[in-house]
């Protein structure tokens, strides 16, 4: 049970001039003096320009929007918490950046599991070939499927759980994920979800007539969570982060108008659109922010950002990207930044948010990156850069960006017209220049002094991981070269070492500066998931210490952790060993039962890590998500939590659990 929205909350509705990203510097994406005199972005001059920028997207024939078409065509053909820091008693959501929490379907506070119900329409996991799965790949609805957010208590000594409460969902409410912050549970819902990068960013229809909802519950009384804040944003959810007491929401919105040619094919259709949109006003375009029933514009036109006049850029785009900062202690002071141009993806560090655009001013194309500092929770524009190649695509592409020591490291792929070598991979290292509001190039690889390419001819870039002053890249066509890049001198990065082994790794996890894990597919045992342990203590001579094959031999095996870091769990132990879990979904045929589909959580340890040459990767056991009543198919979410000697495995909507020391004695489903 949960209590209804408290009627005692009163909102101080901020005037439009001060709300969202309008008005004073505290809510402005502009510089502290309220203006942007330099940099690739500038503020919208007035309401008329804001309207004209939007109207232009529908009043030019599609053949004028050749840059947008080029982006779509090229993208369509493109290939494919604390994560082991100081030891603690239980694991939390695996994140790209330490201290930058990420939205997920399972959260744990050491005492309670918070579980969002499976979304059967969740999009998308990525297949080995880089293609998106179709709807047939997802689990069918289950009669027992939870209709709400479940809260379970845990006992780490016995590895058992008990249901405490369920927060029911309204009709049509879809929870994309959760956060927990002290005694707050934050639920974020959206009718659709396309992910923080990929081809979906290029469309228009997907961002129309959408709304996202942020519900904040007080869980002081865990058996009766109280809904204290209900926030609505007009638009579709892209991604979110929580840094301390601030929740960041990245959303996109395209206003819907009747009788509009979305992609005008000729001048007649463009003219018809111009007539239809002749009388529109800013309020017809700006999305709405609603907090506990009180509504206001999400931002003001004059504080939206545009690229400076660019004669090579002759198209407009009718989808607005917004970054909204919500203080969890006072959500009614939410502030937003509006970027009124096309976007391709987002990356968030502890200090900044980076928004990027795929731009085609040449055949190979390039990526434009805009940096927004996260000062006191308010995004503030601080510089831009253009780099060669494409950044975003299927998979966990934000691993291709990393901020470290105030430097941004980025790896892009340049698609060529050379049939013998279709793609080149480029590393760029950038530093913010406060005087020019630019991200200046410090170093790159390859370069004239170090011309060796990253990857052999035609090899695609799979796993990427930056770790302090190193980078690890995995490329693949027929073998798996692991490259170790030395970044200790940012102006002169170089390939320090290379290892060639069969197969490839999609996901890389640095254990420390001497050991690296790689999760991917085996080439020798096709269909098997492969987890490898690499010794990288000698940066010039990386080696594979050992590997484990996970799944059912002869079957089809897949790990959600290959393409979703939240499915991977890692926990350091006080005794110096590390524990990790990887879920694997297997499908195979048997003579007795025919086609069988099962989910297993594999339990493994890293032992002897203080001596890299003697370290080992050891399989301890597994937990099987046995069929629940009337549901013998588990798709969707697979997550796990390690707490002391207990392991809790979420598969679909149910929890299985066991002790690490004896995983064969498991309980569930709960």
Domain assignment present for 526:
no
For the chain, the average pLDDT equals 84
Residue position matching structure tokens 């779509």: 72
Structure tokens at 670: 């709960």
Q: What is the pLDDT of residue 612?
A: 95
Determine the Cα–Cα distance for residues 355 and 333; give it in Å rounded to an integer. 23
Question: Confidence band (pLDDT; 50, 70, 90) for 8?
Answer: very low
Mean pLDDT of the 550-574 span: 93
H/E element holding 49?
helix 47-56
Question: Residue 659 in contact with residue 647, Cβ under 8 Å?
Answer: yes
H/E element holding 667?
strand 662-667
For residue 633, pLDDT beyond 70: no
Determine the Cα–Cα distance for residues 642 and 648; give it in Å rounded to an integer. 7
Domain assignment present for 631:
no
For residue 640, pLDDT beyond 90: yes
Domain count, the chain: 1
Which is more confidently placed, 149 or 379?
149
Which pLDDT tens digit goes with each residue over 21-52?
A: 333 333 455 544 445 678 999 999 999 999 99
H/E element holding 425?
strand 423-433
Q: 176-186: b or e for each residue (b if 16 or more CB lie within 10 Å)?
A: bbbbbbeebbb
Using a pLDDT cut of 70, give the percent of the chain over it: 82
- Whole-prediction pTM value? 0.89
Domain assignment present for 522:
no
Cis bond before residue 582 (omega within 30° of 0): no
Determine the Cα–Cα distance for residues 491 and 443; give it in Å rounded to an integer. 4
* Number of helices followed by number of strands (H, E) in the chain: 4, 42
Domain assignment present for 136:
no
For residue 413, pLDDT beyond 70: yes
Determine the Cα–Cα distance for residues 615 and 533; give it in Å rounded to an integer. 9
Structure tokens at 422: 């279709």
Q: Which long-range contacts (CB under 8 A, 24 or more apart) does 155-158 make?
A: 155/646, 156/89, 156/90, 156/643, 156/644, 156/645, 156/646, 157/644, 157/645, 157/646, 158/646, 158/659
Range in 195-199, 282-286, 315-319 with the lowest mean pLDDT = 195-199
Return the bridge partners of 163, or none. 152
Domain assignment present for 41:
yes
Determine the Cα–Cα distance for residues 512 and 525; give it in Å rounded to an integer. 29
Question: Confidence band (pLDDT; 50, 70, 90) for 202?
Answer: confident
Determine the Cα–Cα distance for residues 401 and 422; give it in Å rounded to an integer. 22
Q: What is the pLDDT of residue 141?
A: 38
Query: Where in the sequence is the domain holding 30, given as residue range(s)?
Result: 13-99+234-392
For residue 79, pLDDT beyond 80: no
End-to-end CA distance of the chain: 18
Task: With CA atoms as reference, report the closest residue to 181 among 298, 323, 293, 326.
Answer: 326
Domain assignment present for 360:
yes
Which pLDDT tens digit goes with each residue over 315-347?
A: 678 999 999 999 999 999 999 989 988 888 899
Determine the Cα–Cα distance for residues 142 and 158; give it in Å rounded to an integer. 29
Q: Who contacts 5 (Cβ-Cβ below 8 Å, separation ≥6)?
A: 227, 228, 230, 292
Q: What is the pLDDT of residue 200?
A: 75
Which pLDDT tens digit goes with each residue over 645-666?
A: 999 999 999 999 999 999 999 9
Structure tokens at 315: 């198209």
Domain assignment present for 203:
no
Task: With CA atoms as reference, report the closest residue to 74 among 354, 310, 366.
Answer: 366
Strands 352-359, 345-348: pairing kind: antiparallel
Determine the Cα–Cα distance for residues 250 and 52; give it in Å rounded to an integer. 24
Task: With CA atoms as reference, report the closest residue to 78 among 462, 341, 521.
Answer: 462
Which pLDDT tens digit goes with each residue over 221-275?
A: 999 999 999 999 999 999 999 999 999 999 999 999 999 998 899 999 999 999 9
Question: Virtual CA dihedral for 216, 222, 225, 230, nearest 10 degrees?
Answer: 0
Determine the Cα–Cα distance for residues 603 and 648; give it in Å rounded to an integer. 11
Question: Residue 426 in contact with residue 389, Cβ under 8 Å?
Answer: yes
H/E element holding 50?
helix 47-56
Domain assignment present for 578:
no
Q: What is the pLDDT of residue 68?
A: 40
Q: What is the pLDDT of residue 28?
A: 53
């Amino acid at each position: 049970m949960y209590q209804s929205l408290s009627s005692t909350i009163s909102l101080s509705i901020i005037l439009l001039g001060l709300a969202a990203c309008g008005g004073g510097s505290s809510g402005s994406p502009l510089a502290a003096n309220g203006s942007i005199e330099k940099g690739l972005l500038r503020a919208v001059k007035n309401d008329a320009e804001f309207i004209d920028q939007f109207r232009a997207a529908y009043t030019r024939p599609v053949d004028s929007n050749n840059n947008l078409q080029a982006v779509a065509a090229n993208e369509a053909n493109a290939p494919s918490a604390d994560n082991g820091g100081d030891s603690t008693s239980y694991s939390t959501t695996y994140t790209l950046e330490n201290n930058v929490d990420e939205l997920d379907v399972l959260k744990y506070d050491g005492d309670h599991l918070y579980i969002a119900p499976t979304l059967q329409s969740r999009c998308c996991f990525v297949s080995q070939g880089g293609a998106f799965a179709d709807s047939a790949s997802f689990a069918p609805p289950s009669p027992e499927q939870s209709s709400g957010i479940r809260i379970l208590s845990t006992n780490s000594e016995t590895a058992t759980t008990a249901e405490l409460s369920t927060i029911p969902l309204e009709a049509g409410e879809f929870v994309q994920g959760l956060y927990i912050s002290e005694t707050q549970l934050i639920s974020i819902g959206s009718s659709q979800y396309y992910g923080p990068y990929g081809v979906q960013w290029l469309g228009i229809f997907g961002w129309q007539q959408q709304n996202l909802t942020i519900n904040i519950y007080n869980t002081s009384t865990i058996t009766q969570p109280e809904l204290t804040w209900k926030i609505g944003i007009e638009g579709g959810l892209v991604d979110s982060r929580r840094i301390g007491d601030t929740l960041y929401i990245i959303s996109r919105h395209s206003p819907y108008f009747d009788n509009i040619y979305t992609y005008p094919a000729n001048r007649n259709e463009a003219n018809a659109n111009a007539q239809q949109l002749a009388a529109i006003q800013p309020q017809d375009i700006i999305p709405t922010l609603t907090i506990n029933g009180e509504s206001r514009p999400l931002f003001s036109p004059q504080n939206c950002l545009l690229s400076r006049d660019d004669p090579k850029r002759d198209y407009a785009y009718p989808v607005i990207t917004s970054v909204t900062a919500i203080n969890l202690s006072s959500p009614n002071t939410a502030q937003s930044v509006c970027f009124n141009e096309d976007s391709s993806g987002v990356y968030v560090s502890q200090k900044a948010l980076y928004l990027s655009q795929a731009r085609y001013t040449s055949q190979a194309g390039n990526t434009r990156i805009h940096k927004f500092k996260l000062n006191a929770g308010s995004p503030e524009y601080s510089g831009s850069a253009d780099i060669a190649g494409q950044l975003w695509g299927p998979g966990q592409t934000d691993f291709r960006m990393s901020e470290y020591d105030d430097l941004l490291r980025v790896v892009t792929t340049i698609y060529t017209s050379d049939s013998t070598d279709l793609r080149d991979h480029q590393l760029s290292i950038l530093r913010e220049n406060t005087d020019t509001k630019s991200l200046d190039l410090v170093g790159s690889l390859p370069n004239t002094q170090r011309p060796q390419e990253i990857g052999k001819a035609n090899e695609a870039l799979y796993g990427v991981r930056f770790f302090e002053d190193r980078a690890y890249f995995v490329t693949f066509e027929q073998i798996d070269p692991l490259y170790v890049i030395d970044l200790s001198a940012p102006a002169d990065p170089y390939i320090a070492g290379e290892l060639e082994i069969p197969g490839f790794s999609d996901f890389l996890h640095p254990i420390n500066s001497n050991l690296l894990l790689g999760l991917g597919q085996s080439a020798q045992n096709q269909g098997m998931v492969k987890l490898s342990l690499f010794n990288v203590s000698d940066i010039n001579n990386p080696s594979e210490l050992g590997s484990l094959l996970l799944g059912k031999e002869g079957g089809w095996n897949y790990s959600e952790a290959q393409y979703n870091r939240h499915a991977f769990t890692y926990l350091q132990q006080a005794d110096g060993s590390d524990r990790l879990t990887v879920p694997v979904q297997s499908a195979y045929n048997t003579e007795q039962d025919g086609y069988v589909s099962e989910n297993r959580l594999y339990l493994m340890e890293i032992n002897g890590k203080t001596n890299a040459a003697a370290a080992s990767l050891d399989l301890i056991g597994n937990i099987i998500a046995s069929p629940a009543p009337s549901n013998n198919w588990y798709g969707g979410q697979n997550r796990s939590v390690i707490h002391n000697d207990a392991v809790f495995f979420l598969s679909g909507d149910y929890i299985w659990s066991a002790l690490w020391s004896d995983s064969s004695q498991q309980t569930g489903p709960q």
